[in-house]
Amino acid sequence: MFMLEKAMVGSRRYWVWVCALLTLIAVAFGFYLHQLSYGLGVTGMSRDVSWGLYIGQFTFMVGVAASAVMVVLPYYLHNHKDFARMTILGEFLAVAAVTMCMLFILVDMGKPMRVFNVFLYPQFHSVMFWDMVSLSGYLVINITITLVSLHAEQQDVHPPRWIKPVILLSIPWAISIHTVTAFLYCGIPGRTLWRTAVLAPRFLASAFASGPALLILLCLLVRELTSYDVGKKAINSLAVIMTYAMVINVFLLLMELFTAFYSQVPELTEHFKSMYLGTVGPNSLLPWGQLSVFLMIASLIPLLVPTMRRNETILAFTCAMVFSALCIDKGVCLVVCGFMPSPLGTMTRYVPTLPEMTITVGVWAVGALMVTVFYKIALSVEIAREASYVPAYKYAAGEGVTGLQAHARSNQSV
Amino acid sequence: MKITRKEFLKISGACLVALSGKEVLAVLDNPAEGQSSSSSAGKARKQLGMIVDTRKCAKAEGCTKCIQACNAAHNIPSFQDPDHQIKWIWEKPFDDIFSSYETQYLDASLKEEPTPVLCNHCDNPPCVRVCPTGATWKRPEDGIVMMDWHRCIGCRYCMAACPYGARSFNWVDPRPHIERLNPDFPTRTKGVVEKCTFCSERLANGQLPACVEACPEKALVFGDVNDPKSEVRQMLAKSYALRRRAELGTGPNIYYLI
C-alpha cells in the first residue's frame, strides 16, 4: 500500500536524517502540547499583532505549494520534455507544502478541536472558508496525481487516461490557492499594507520564484545523494522561470513603493517606512525587512547574468538567496507589519518566542520528512525502472555487466 | 402526448435556464433594486447605536466608571501584560482615535483627552464578513454584532478585519484573572475572541448597557439610530458628530459629539 515499504530501507545516512527530523518533530510537539494547555499566550503575538510567524509561514508555504504549476504547466501544456524527470518531484513537494500550510493554520488556531466548524457552519462570504476549500482540494488533487503516476511508473504502464484532466485541473487550481490566500488579506478594509490589488499578482510572482528556487536546490541535492539526475536542461529552464518571476516580484514591489511614496499618503507610506526605513517605529522586524529587500535585489544580478545563472554553484547560492528573501518577506514581514501601526496608531513590538519558533521549525521538519519519504519512494521506483531498462539495452550492445552494476549501485545509493 | 426521458430532461433543463435567466435579467434591469430594497428594509429596522459626548465626558477628569462597570458586568480579566489584555470599552487619547481629523494646533490637553472606544456595531461589519464559522454575526432585530464563544475557532481573522481594534483574544485562560466573578454572566475560555455586545443580556431585561448606566455625566446616550424620534437621533440632528473611519464603508454606529 502506497509503496511505503520503499521508505523503510535505506542507508545509514538516510536513517540518521530521518531520526533527526523525528526528534525535531517530537520536541516541537512537546512545545505544541504546552501551547495547547497554556494558550497562544506562549507566542509573541498580542492584541495588536494578532497574527505572527504561523500565519506568515502559512502564506509563504501556500506559494511553494502553488509553484508546482511552474513545472506541471510547461510539461503538460507545452510538452516541455526537459521537465519529464522533474515533474514528479515538483508534485510531491506541493503535497508536502500544502500539508505544512494546514499544520500552520492548525497550530495558529485558538480552538483547534473546533476546526470542523468551518465545514459544519460554512460561511460562503468568508474568504477563509474558500481558502480551506481550495487548499484541501489542491491536496487531494496532488495526492491523486502523484499516487496514480507513480503507480503507473512502477507497473511500467501508461497512467490511466482519466488522470490527464485531473492534471489539467491542477493548473488553475494552483493559481487559485494563492489568489484566494491573497484575498484573505487584500479584502480587509482597514489594513492598508494589504489592501492593494497588486497583492495577489505579487503573491503569485514571489511564489513562482521561491518554489522553483527550493525545487532546484532539492534537485541538486537529490543528484548529490542518489544517481537520479533531472538533467542540466531542466534546471536551467526552471532557473529562467525563477528569474522572470523574481523580476516581476521586484517590479511589483517597486510599484507599491512608488504609489505610496509619490502620493505621500501617510496611510500608504507608514507601513513601508516602518518595514524598510525605520522612520516610523520602533519596529522589531526592521532588520529583517531590510535584509529581505537586500537579498531580493542582490539575487537579481546572478539571475540576470546567464553565465552566472548556468553555473550550478552560483545558482545554488542564488536559489538560497531567493528562497530566504521571500521566506522573510512573505513569511514574516508582510503579515506582521500589516498590524503595525495598529488601528489606534500603536506600534506594538512583535518578537516570536522560543516555543513559537520551535513549533514553526517542527512544521518545517514535518515537511522535510514528507519530502524525504516521498522522494525516497519516487526515486526508488524511477531508478529501479531505469535500471531494468538499461541492462536490456546494454545487453544487446554486450555491456550487460555494466548495467547490472549500475542497478546495484543505484540500489545502494538511494 | 408521450415524452421520453431525454426530452423531459431537455425541457426541464431549458426551463431552469430560463428561470435563472429571468432572475439575472431582473437584477441587470434595475441593479439598484436589490440594494435599495435591502437597505431600506435595514433602515426601517432597529439599529442600536451610541453617542459619546466628549465634552461631558471630559468634565469628569480621571473617571473610568464606564470601563469598570463593563469589566465587572462581563467578567473581564485584568492582565498586567498589555499584549494579553481584554478590552470591551477602554480609553484612548482623542488624537489617536481621530488621527485623520488632526489639526496640529489643537491644545495638547485636548489632543490627549481620554476618550472611550468600543465596538462600533457596524452596519456592514467586516468582522462578520470574514468569520469562517458564523461565530460572529449581525443580529437582525437590533443590529448588534454578536459573538458565539462556543463556535469561535480562534482564527482571529475578525481581529485582522476590524478597523477599530475592538476585538480581544483570550491568549491564556482568563478565569484566574477575573477579580470578582459575576455569576450572571458567562466567563470565557482561552482561545476565543470577544468584544462588546452592547450588553445584550441587560437589554433583554429592559436595562441600559452597563457603561451608559454608570456614567455620572450622562455622556453616553444609547438608542435606535434608525428611529427619527429617538433621543440619539434628536441629538445627532442638532450637532456635528464624528464617527471613526466611516470612510471605510463599515457604517459605524458610535457617534462622538465634539
Average pLDDT over residues B38-65: 82
Candidates B142, B240, B250; CA nearest to B198 is: B142
* Buried residues in B146-173 as b, exposed as e (16+ CB within 10 A): bbebebbbbbbbbbbbbbbbbbbbbbbb
Q: What is the mean pLDDT of residues A378-383?
A: 87
Judging contacts by C-beta atoms under 8 Å, the chain A residues touching residue B119 are none
- pLDDT value for B37: 40
Q: Are B112 and B95 in contact (CB under 8 A)?
A: yes
How far is B202 from chain A, CA to nearest CA, in Å?
27
For chain B, list the domains and their CATH numbers: 51-257 (3.30.70.20)
Are A62 and A181 spatial neighbours (Cβ–Cβ below 8 Å)? yes
Q: Which residues of A271-308 are buried (b: 16+ CB within 10 A; e: fewer)?
A: bbbbbbeeebbebbbbebbbbbbebbeebbebbeeeee
pLDDT tens-digit series, residues A46-105? 999 999 999 999 999 999 999 999 999 999 999 999 998 999 999 999 999 999 999 999
A85-112 burial, b at 16+ Cβ within 10 Å, e below that, comes to: bbbbbbbbbbbbbbbbbbbbbebbbbbb
Confidence class for position A406, pLDDT limits 50, 70, 90: very low
Q: What cell does A336 get?
A: 506582521
Nearest to A189 among B87, B163, B173 (CB): B163
Query: What DSSP line would sit under B112-159, residue for residue?
Result: T-EEEEE----SS-HHHHH-SSS-EEE-TTT--EEE-TTT-----HHH
β-pairing, B220-224 vs B48-53, is: antiparallel
pLDDT score, position B258:
87
Taking an 8 Å cut-off on Cβ atoms, the answer to whether A50 and B159 are in contact is yes
CB B50 within 8 A of CB B222: yes
Q: Contact B169/A110, CB-based, under 8 Å?
A: yes
User: What average pLDDT does the segment B229-233 reach?
Assistant: 95
Length of chain A as a residue count:
414
Domains annotated on chain A, with CATH:
4-413 (1.20.1630.10)
Q: What is the mean pLDDT of residues A31-35?
A: 97
Identify the CA nearest to B76 among candidates B178, B159, B170: B178
Contacts of A47 in chain B (CB under 8 A): 82-85, 87, 159, 165, 168-169
What value does the mean pLDDT of chain A take? Answer: 91
- The CA distances from residue B165 to A390, B42, B118, in Å, are 66, 25, 9
Residue range A237-288, pLDDT digits in tens = 999 999 999 999 999 999 999 999 999 998 899 999 999 998 887 888 999 9
**Residue numbers of B between 6 and 35 with CB closer than 8 Å to A:** none
Which pLDDT score is estimated for A33?
97
Whether pTM exceeds 0.95:
no
Complete DSSP assignment for A96-157: HHHHHHHHHHHHH-S-GGGTTHHHHS--TT-HHHHHHHHHHHHHHHHHHHHHHHHHHHHHTS
3-state secondary structure of B50: strand
Q: Which of residues 114-133 of B touch A (CB under 8 A)?
A: 117, 126, 129-133
Nearest C-alpha of chain A: how many angstroms from B161? Answer: 5
Angle between helices A199-225 and A69-77 (to 10 degrees): 80
Residue A155: pLDDT band with limits 50, 70, 90: confident
pLDDT band at A390 (very low <50, low <70, confident <90, very high): low
pLDDT tens digit sequence for B167-179: 999 999 999 999 9
Put simply, whether B107 touches A (Cβ < 8 Å) is no
Is the per-residue pLDDT at A368 higher than 80? yes
For position B136, what pLDDT does the model report? Answer: 97
pLDDT at residue number A353: 97
Closest by CA to B94, choosing from B105, B77, B109, is B109
In the predicted structure, residue B123 carries a pLDDT above the cut 70: yes
User: What's phi and psi for A17, nearest 5 deg?
Assistant: -60, -45
What pLDDT score was predicted for residue A411? 43
Chain B residues with CB under 8 Å of A111 CB are: 152-154, 191-192
Amino acid B35: pLDDT: 40
B99 inside 8 A of chain A by CB: yes
Other beta carbons within 10 Å of B252? 22
DSSP-assigned letter for residue A329: I
Instruction: List CB contacts (< 8 A) between A184 and chain B.
Output: 157
B84·A342 Cβ contact <8 A: no
pLDDT of A2 reads 66
Name every chain A residue with its beta carbon within 8 A of the beta carbon of B172: 38-39, 41
Q: Is the per-residue pLDDT at B27 higher than 80?
A: no
Residue A210: Cβ within 10 Å count? 29
Among B96, B160, B172, the residue with its CB nearest the CB of A39 is B172
Determine which of A34, A42, A50, A131 to mutate to test the interface with B (most B C-beta atoms within 10 Å).
A50
Chain A residues lying within 8 Å of B170, measured CB to CB: 39, 110
Q: What residue in B sits closest to A41 (Cα-Cα)?
A: B171
Set of chain B residues whose Cβ sits within 8 Å of the Cβ of A344: 92, 96-97, 117, 165
Mean pLDDT of B104-131: 92
Residue B78 at interface with chain A, using a CB cutoff of 8 Å: no
B109: confidence class by pLDDT, cuts 50, 70, 90 = confident
Is the pLDDT at A399 greater than 60? The verdict is no
Q: In 3-state terms, chain A is what percent helix, strand and coil (to 5)?
A: 80, 0, 20
Beta-bridge mates of residue B242: B256
- Closest CB to A342 among B165, B168, B193: B165
pLDDT for A5 equals 80
Chain B CA closest to residue A54: B155
Question: How does residue A388 score in pLDDT terms, banded at 50, 70 and 90?
Answer: confident
For the packed helices A87-108 and A127-155, what is the interaxial angle rounded to 10 degrees?
150
B85 CB within 8 Å of a chain A CB: yes
- Tens of pLDDT, residue by residue over B135-163, are 999 999 999 999 999 999 999 999 999 99
- pLDDT: is A1 or A407 the higher one? A1
Dihedral (C-alpha) A11, A12, A17, A23: value to the nearest 10 degrees?
A: 130
- pLDDT for residue A414: 40
Q: How many residues does chain B have?
A: 258
Give B164→chain A minimum CA distance, Å: 6
A:B CB pairs within 8 Å: 139
pLDDT per position as a tens digit, B209-228: 999 999 999 999 999 999 99
Q: Note the ipTM here.
A: 0.88
Q: CB-CB: which of A105, A121, A191 is closest to B133?
A: A121
**A299-355 pLDDT, tens digit each:** 999 999 999 999 999 999 999 999 999 999 999 999 999 998 899 988 999 999 999
How far apart are the C-alpha atoms of B195 and B90, rounded to whole Å? 11
